[in-house]
């Protein structure tokens, strides 16, 4: 069995200008990994319709799922729904079930469902709504593309609404060891180990701490016994390594 | 004058698996914005040669500069230099000036320049080295692609080595106001303002704090007088806004 693959498209000038530090990508990456869905690529593009359409069409063709973050609010720079409709070549209009969700929410909170807010009920033809328990305005799934808000609390709630609908894969089992030596000291042994265990992913992640170089070696795989066996070999090769 | 554009390519399974949270993108975004270089797109891909080559060729064709992060260490999963050489269709071999830098560093630190470490002297034909004052092993610039390490301290030092060589653009002047109202309340006025000031970028970034929704409006442009004038209009429209 092959694990499903995913890509993420983050839409937002504020990330690219360095004004905001993205947190949605890290959140989604962890959620997908837990479910055995392999996040293969992330793209961050500006609030530009052509670029969003091009990236969406590229990503949805190459992955089982695409998750987007950002650009579905009520303001003039929120153009993600338009871009998704254009990418799929379908219409975009206010949908009654989405309007009803907004009307109920704004009545309850005593705010006006004005023209700007009503933009958030514009849903591409054929999409399914994604529930937003935080601020009501729904996301949507069209084909294999899941369109979600950028505000982290809302994004996270929408991910929680979407993931149970999606088939996961075999969870990857992973173990890691940290070695207080530079990568260059351990690279040859790691390469040998990687060749011996072709079904495992053996990654080496260097770091610098208190002026000294070290490396964390992460071994991942579907078979727990293979991962454990590789870990034993690693521990024998580097007796000073710590879990 | 048009500001130069840039893209970033982050290479690393550890970001996509959620194990590590990227910080290089946020760092680079801020550095570029300060210099008037517009970061237009970021891609994060796994340690897969085909994907790195495809992303590099896409990005270098569409931007004045491409900055890469990750995958130039001594281990078997460090394949960025190979991928860059393949993308440009040039050879890759150990280069004497790079080997000399490593030899000097390892002699000084009392470590062996073994075969794994020597991989870091493999530089694509025609590239210029990027100085690495932290751990010696150089990055390189080939055409409009600047190839740097993933360890944040090293990445940041390499960015500092590269940026003075690159022509910046007119710095963007930006001002922001924070309004304690949901985006939907202010969207119509913002759209009007954006239409009145077509040369400015007016972004609206919603947030949720202590259960209440608010929005930060950021106005950016090359002309300080235009940005200031739009800010005055904003303050008049939303007297309760804070800087």
Q: What is the CATH number of the domain that holds B66?
A: 3.40.980.10
Q: In whole angstroms, what is the distance from residue B202 CA to residue A2 CA?
A: 45
DSSP 8-state symbol, B229: H
Q: In whole angstroms, what is the distance from residue A52 CA to residue B210 CA?
A: 32
Chain A residues within an 8 Å CB radius of B115:
188
- Over pLDDT 70: what percentage of chain B? 100
Instruction: Indicate if B103 and B157 belong to the same structural domain.
Output: yes
B154 found inside a domain? yes
Element (H, E) at B52: helix B49-62
- Residues B53-103: tens digit of each pLDDT: 999 999 999 999 999 999 999 998 899 999 999 999 999 999 999 999 999
A153 found inside a domain? yes
The encoded tokens of residue B230 equal: 């739009």
Q: Which of A143, A165, A187 is the last residue of a domain?
A: A165
The encoded tokens of residue A168 equal: 């996961």
Q: What is the pLDDT of residue A1?
A: 54
- Residues A52-108: tens digit of each pLDDT: 999 999 999 999 999 999 999 999 889 999 999 999 999 999 999 999 999 999 999
| Shortest CA gap A135–chain B (Å) | 9
Chain A residues within an 8 Å CB radius of B150:
206
Q: Which of B112, B137, B165 is the last residue of a domain?
A: B165
Q: What is the pLDDT of residue A222?
A: 86
Three-state DSSP at B171 gives coil
Q: What is the pLDDT of residue B206?
A: 84
B243 found inside a domain? no
Instruction: Indicate if B207 and B226 belong to the same structural domain.
Output: yes
CB atoms A41 and B39 under 8 Å: no
Nearest CA-CA partner of B147 in B52, B236, B64, B69: B69
Residues 6+ positions from A177 with CB-CB distance below 8 Å: A216, A217, A231, A234, A235, A238, A241, A242, A243
Q: How does residue A182 score in pLDDT terms, banded at 50, 70 and 90?
A: confident
Instruction: Indicate if B152 and B195 belong to the same structural domain.
Output: no
A143 found inside a domain? yes
| Shortest CA gap A163–chain B (Å) | 16
Crossing angle for the helix pair B183-196 and B224-237, nearest 10 degrees?
140
Position with higher pLDDT, B243 vs B235: B235
Q: In whole angstroms, what is the distance from residue B55 CA to residue B64 CA?
A: 15
Give chain A's domain count: 2
Task: Flag whether pLDDT at B164 surpasses 60.
Answer: yes
Instruction: Indicate if B91 and B134 belong to the same structural domain.
Output: yes
The encoded tokens of residue B231 equal: 């800010």
CB atoms B184 and A46 under 8 Å: no
CB atoms B218 and A19 under 8 Å: yes
Instruction: Indicate if B46 and B106 belong to the same structural domain.
Output: yes
Q: How does residue A210 score in pLDDT terms, banded at 50, 70 and 90?
A: confident
Q: Which residue of B has its CA nearest to A175?
A: B19
| Shortest CA gap A226–chain B (Å) | 19
Q: In whole angstroms, what is the distance from residue B128 CA to residue B138 CA?
A: 10
Residue whose tokens read 């931007």: B63
Q: Which residue of A has its CA nearest to B75?
A: A187
Position with higher pLDDT, A124 vs B218: A124
CB atoms B14 and A182 under 8 Å: no
Instruction: Indicate if A122 and A64 belong to the same structural domain.
Output: yes
Q: Do the Cβ atoms of A136 and A105 come closer than 8 Å? A: yes
| Shortest CA gap B18–chain A (Å) | 5
- Residues B209-218: tens digit of each pLDDT: 777 888 899 9
Q: How does residue B189 score in pLDDT terms, banded at 50, 70 and 90?
A: very high
| Shortest CA gap B218–chain A (Å) | 9
Task: Flag whether pLDDT at B111 surpasses 70.
Answer: yes
Element (H, E) at A6: strand A5-11
Dihedral of alpha carbons A182, A183, A188, A190, sign: positive
B242 found inside a domain? no
Instruction: Indicate if A65 and A113 belong to the same structural domain.
Output: yes
Backbone φ, ψ for residue A164 (5° rounding): -60, -20
Task: Flag whether pLDDT at A132 surpasses 90.
Answer: yes
Nearest CA-CA partner of B87 in B117, B116, B120, B125: B125
Q: In whole angstroms, what is the distance from residue B9 CA to residue A160 CA?
A: 29
Q: Which of B165, B192, B225 is the last residue of a domain?
A: B165
The encoded tokens of residue A21 equal: 């530090």
CB atoms B184 and A74 under 8 Å: yes
Chain A residues within an 8 Å CB radius of B204:
73, 75-77
Instruction: Indicate if B46 and B93 belong to the same structural domain.
Output: yes
Q: In whole angstroms, what is the distance from residue A43 CA to residue A37 CA?
A: 17
Dihedral of alpha carbons B132, B133, B135, B137, sign: positive
Instruction: Indicate if B140 and B214 belong to the same structural domain.
Output: no
CB atoms B206 and A26 under 8 Å: no
Chain A residues within an 8 Å CB radius of B36:
none
Q: Which residue of B has its CA nearest to A26?
A: B18
Q: What is the pTM of this model?
A: 0.91
Picking from B19, B28, B186, the nearest residue to A218 by CB comes out as: B19
Chain A residues within an 8 Å CB radius of B74:
183-184, 187
Instruction: Indicate if B140 and B188 belong to the same structural domain.
Output: no
Chain B residues within an 8 Å CB radius of A191:
75-76, 116
Q: Could you tell me the residue range of the domain that residue B11 belongs to?
A: 5-165
Instruction: Indicate if B158 and B48 belong to the same structural domain.
Output: yes
* Cβ burial, residue A38 (10 Å; 0-12/13-18/19+): buried
Tell me how far CA of residue B237 lies from CA of B27, B185, B190, B231, in angstroms: 34, 12, 10, 10
A242 found inside a domain? no
Q: Do the Cβ atoms of B180 and A71 come closer than 8 Å? A: no
The encoded tokens of residue B172 equal: 């963007």
CB atoms A42 and B16 under 8 Å: yes
Chain B residues within an 8 Å CB radius of A11:
none
DSSP 8-state symbol, A157: H
Model ipTM? 0.90
Picking from B39, B42, B75, the nearest residue to A183 by CB comes out as: B75
The encoded tokens of residue B189 equal: 């006025």
How many CB atoms within 10 Å of residue B66? Answer: 27
Q: In whole angstroms, what is the distance from residue A73 CA to residue B199 CA?
A: 23
């Amino acid at each position: 069995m092959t694990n499903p693959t995913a890509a993420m498209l983050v839409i937002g000038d504020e990330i690219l200008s360095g004004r905001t530090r993205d947190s949605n990508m890290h959140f989604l990456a962890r959620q997908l990994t837990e479910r055995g869905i392999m996040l293969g690529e992330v793209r961050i593009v500006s609030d530009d319709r052509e670029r969003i359409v091009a990236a969406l069409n590229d990503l949805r063709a190459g992955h089982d799922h695409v998750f987007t973050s950002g650009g579905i609010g009520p303001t003039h720079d929120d153009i993600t729904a338009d871009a998704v409709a254009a990418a799929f070549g379908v219409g975009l209009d206010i949908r009654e079930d989405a309007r009803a969700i907004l009307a109920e929410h704004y009545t309850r909170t005593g705010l006006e469902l004005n023209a700007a807010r009503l933009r958030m009920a514009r849903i591409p033809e054929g999409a399914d709504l994604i529930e937003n328990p935080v601020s009501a305005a729904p996301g949507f799934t069209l084909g294999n593309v899941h369109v979600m808000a950028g505000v982290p609390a809302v994004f996270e709630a929408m991910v929680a609404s979407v993931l149970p609908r999606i088939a996961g894969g075999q969870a990857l089992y992973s173990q890691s060891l940290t070695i207080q030596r530079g990568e260059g000291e351990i690279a040859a042994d790691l390469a040998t180990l990687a060749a011996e265990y072709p079904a495992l992913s053996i990654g080496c992640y260097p770091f610098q701490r208190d002026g000294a170089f070290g490396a964390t070696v992460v071994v991942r795989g579907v078979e727990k016994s293979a991962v454990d066996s590789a870990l034993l070999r690693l521990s024998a090769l580097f007796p000073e390594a710590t879990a």
